[in-house]
Structures are given as structure tokens and as C-alpha cells.
Structure 1
Amino acid sequence: MNHEYADKLITLLENHHNSDNQEAMEAYMRNQFPFFGIRTPERNALLKDFLKENGKPPIEELPDIVRSLWSMPQRECQYIALGLIDKRSRYLTKEHLPLLEELIVTKSWWDTIDHIGPNHVGEIYQNEEDDTYLEKWIKADHIWLNRIAILYQLKYKAETDTERLFRYILLHNQSKEFFIQKAIGWALREYSKTNPEAVKDFIASEQLAPLSVREGLKHVDRKAKEEKSVKNLKGQSIQG
């Protein structure tokens, strides 16, 4: 599916191909995707200049533009597609969930998944009560859909639906998948910055993978060490 707006962006990226960077970037992603060799700062600058000249994509044309970019083999095209969604994220609604689902299950790896989850799916569900997609994703036989459902609330802080977060984690707490265990730990660690007691109690009462526990308690343990250090310093000062 071609789109003139996307074609301009693809040509722009092709014109900035850098073979010096290409091999290292592909190796970092375990050679799962070819790259043009355009590093993040340069890619962001190219997109910024492009948007100044061409404007942001119309929201009604965004799905076609994104799909056109997503169809390209080079990974920078997927990054640019996500960058365009970022620029229109305030206009995302549940009508865009089928598009996001396509992106989640196509050319899937942690780099795109971990952007889509909190930034796009999370944006939609700030104002959406229909949880049909979330419930489908957490129960799907697809680790990246599962990971999205676990991570979409990363930025919610006090607005986190605690019951849903813990329920979703318990649906996968026996998973042997690294990316699921890591997602559980990451989600718990972020929520512990808002509600440390709830996270500590949850981890203590449930059977989670060691990786999930270790990741989930990182912030809590660091805060405890800092408080202990401050307490010791105060004690030394009093004694002195």
C-alpha cells in the first residue's frame, strides 16, 4: 500500500543511508531487521525537518501512511511510522486499535512493542472503557500482545488500574518467556514508584519468576538503601 506522504519519507531515508553504521545497528537488533544505518539523533532531525516542510499527517490518512512505512524492510521505516503516530497520539481512539494490533504482531520486537504499549495503547486507554482488545491481548497465544497488555499502564502512575495490572500479571506469572518475565518486573517497578506497599505485598504473596521479582523490587530496594544510608549518616552526626 503506497502513499505519497510515506513515499517521500522513504526516499528521504534512502538518501541518508549510512553503511558505516548499518552493520552495528543490525547486530544490536540481533540481525532481525535490515537498517539504513541512520542513528536516532539524525533520524529524529530528519523527521523534524520533514514535518516542518510537509506538515503532520492528517489523522484520517495516518493508518495508510503507517502501513506503507511498516511494509518496508528497513527498521528505520518502522521507527518513523511510530514517530508519526506520536505526533497525532492525542487523536488516537479505539478505532485505531486494529491498526496498532497489526503493528504489534508484524515485525515484532521489543523496540517497537515497548513504544506502542505505553505511548499509543496507553494513550487510548486513558479515555477508553471498552477493554475488549486488552482482554483479547492478555489471553492471546502471542507474547508481544501479552507484553503490551502488561505494559500499557506504565505511565499511569496514580491512575493505574491496580486490579487489572495484578490480574494480568497473574495470567502469565508462570511464563518461561524472558520478555514476559521482564515485562512483569518492569510494570511492577514503575508502579512501585507510586504505590510501593501494594507492589511489595503483591510480590510477597504471589509466585513470580526470580527475574520479575528482582526487576519489580529494584526501585523499592534502592529507596530502602538510600533511607538506610541517610539514617546512618544522621546517627554518625549525632554521635560526632
Structure 2
Amino acid sequence: MPLTSSDATPATLPPADFAARLREALSALADPQRAPAMAAYMKGHFAFFGVPMPARRAAVKPLVVALGRRPDPDWLLAVAEALWACEERECQYVAADLLVKFARLLEARHEPRLARLVQTRAWWDTVDPLASRVYGTLVRSAPALCERLDAYASHPDLWLRRVAILHQLSCADDTDRARLDAILTANLAHTDFFIRKAMGWALREFAYTDPDWVRAWLGAHADEVSGLTRREALKRIG
């Protein structure tokens, strides 16, 4: 339901109530004709309202804007967790967007809750923004977390591995090359498509900053790196 002038501000609502308002905004736009194709694109793993990204973001924008610039990060994570429990995939997209928007407010103590989101209802569509935009921001503000991310590079959960591989994606020349090398090397023998694709993506993105480093890394591991990783890595530098 829309906010009225007599309503409490959104950030004073219980997190579950605010999450319910966000879900209602999406439900009002449900398109049963579009939903099956969206579900099929995600290999049938999730149900969808059938709301495309522009309409989804427009629908929740008034509620998000009303949060102001500094909602309480614990409250924000609780909202994300409530949205993560919803059946429809668009709810997780809204949660990820919220966490990206306010990533600068998160602290090291919040990381275990982020890790649970990564591992719950997990697929690339929610893991990737959490990895590159949320974890990337968090690690820059809390560098002590680097050790934990380095450990994720060999974690049994492949999605936490993907977070480790992608969390420096937007760091450009601030990328820690030694850490990137160690994380990628730890996954050379991994056979999963999503790991090999992420490795290639990380290398391809870093090639914008240091193509010689990327070529040298591929050369040093020529007998180990997968064809998928190599092709992705070289797309922009040949």
C-alpha cells in the first residue's frame, strides 16, 4: 500500500512490515503472461511475479526514497532477510538493490548475515550484485575481512567461492593483485561452470586496468586454466 502523510516513516516500521509493503508494490504489477519466461530464464529455480527490472525499481522507489540516506543497517538487513524469505524472485532482487544502495552503511559484523543470504536461494542473479557491489564496498571499508574472503576461495559452497572471485570486480587499480592471484589459483581445478565463468569475468574486468598482468597470469597457468575462463578473460584484449 502507498505511504500517506499520517504513516510512520518507513524506517520506523518493523522490518517484516516494510518488506511486506515492498512485496505489495511488486504484486500490484504482477504479469502472469511474462512470469513463465522469466522463470524459464532462471532454469525454473524460482517463481516470478513477472515484473521487469525498470518497472520493479519504479514500483518500490517511493518507499526506498522515504528511507532517507542512513537507515539503520541492522534494520536494513532484517528487511533484506524478510524479502529473501518471499517466494517470488523479484523480492530478492529488491533486497539486493537495497543492500547495494546502502552498502556503505554495513560493517564487518554484518558479514555473516550477508554470507547466509549468498547461500540461501542461491543463483548468480543475486550472488553477483552481493559479491561485486556489497562485499566489494564492505571489504574496502573493513579490510580485516580480506582474510575471510580469502578463505571463501576454497569454501565448499560454490557461491561463497564466487563471492571471493568477484568481490574485487570494481576495484580497478586498487585491486590487490596478490590476493586476486591466490583466489584464482585456488580455483583452477574447480570444474563448475559458475566458478570458471566468474574467474574469466574477474580477469576480463581487471584487463581494463592491467592487461599485461592478465596475459601473464594466463600464461603462467596455461596448462591449468579452463578454456571457458581463458575465452572470457581475453574477450576485450585478444
TM-score (norm 2): 0.88
Instruction: Tell me, in whole angstroms, the C-alpha distance in 1 between the residues paired with 2:52 and 2:118.
Output: 23
2:206 to 188, 191, 207: 191
Corresponding letter in the other structure for 1:119: R
2:41 to 22, 28, 31: 28
- Percent identical pairs in the alignment equals 33
Corresponding letter in the other structure for 2:16: H
Closer, same or farther in 2 for the Cα pair 1:193/1:54, shift >3 Å?
closer
Shift of 1:55: 4.7
Answer 1 or 2: which has greater helix percent.
Answer: 1
Aligned twin of 2:122: 108
Whether the aligned pair in 1 keeps the contact of 2:25 and 2:60 (CA below 8 Å) is no
Aligned twin of 1:231: none
Whether the aligned pair in 2 keeps the contact of 1:97 and 1:133 (CA below 8 Å) is no
Task: For structure 1, list consecutive stretches of 5 or more residues without a partner in the other structure.
Answer: 222-240
Instruction: Tell me, in whole angstroms, the C-alpha distance in 1 between the residues paired with 2:20 and 2:67.
Output: 12
Instruction: Tell me, in whole angstroms, the C-alpha distance in 2 between the residues paired with 1:70 and 1:151.
Output: 21
Instruction: Tell me, in whole angstroms, the C-alpha distance in 2 between the residues paired with 1:133 and 1:174.
Output: 21
Aligned twin of 1:209: 226
Task: For structure 2, list consecutive stretches of 5 or more residues without a partner in the other structure.
Answer: 1-13
1:170 to 142, 160, 185: 185
Tell me whether 83-92 or 203-212 shows the greater mean CA deviation.
83-92
Instruction: Tell me, in whole angstroms, the C-alpha distance in 1 between the residues paired with 2:75 and 2:198.
Output: 32
Whether the aligned pair in 1 keeps the contact of 2:166 and 2:202 (CA below 8 Å) is yes
Shift of 1:87: 2.3
How many positions carry a matched residue from both structures? 221
1:220 aligns with 2:237: yes
Superposed CA deviations along residues 34-61 of structure 1, whole A, max 9, x for unmatched, are 0011110100101212224565643231
Whether the aligned pair in 2 keeps the contact of 1:153 and 1:160 (CA below 8 Å) is yes
Instruction: Tell me, in whole angstroms, the C-alpha distance in 2 between the residues paired with 1:77 and 1:84.
Output: 11
Closer, same or farther in 2 for the Cα pair 1:162/1:84, shift >3 Å?
same
1:60 to 67, 71, 74: 74
Whether the aligned pair in 1 keeps the contact of 2:150 and 2:179 (CA below 8 Å) is no
Tell me whether 113-122 or 86-95 shows the greater mean CA deviation.
86-95
Aligned twin of 1:10: 23
Corresponding letter in the other structure for 2:123: W
Whether the aligned pair in 2 keeps the contact of 1:118 and 1:154 (CA below 8 Å) is yes
Superposed CA deviations along residues 132-159 of structure 1, whole A, max 9, x for unmatched, are 4213311211111101100100000000
Q: CA RMSD in A?
A: 1.6
Structure 1 segments of 4 or more deviating over 6 A? none
Corresponding letter in the other structure for 1:98: P
Shift of 1:196: 0.8
Instruction: Tell me, in whole angstroms, the C-alpha distance in 2 between the residues paired with 1:208 and 1:42.
Output: 40
Instruction: Tell me, in whole angstroms, the C-alpha distance in 2 between the residues paired with 1:2 and 1:120.
Output: 20
Kindly report which structure 2 residues correspond to 1:43-54, keeping only aligned pairs within 5 A, or say none: 43-53=56-66
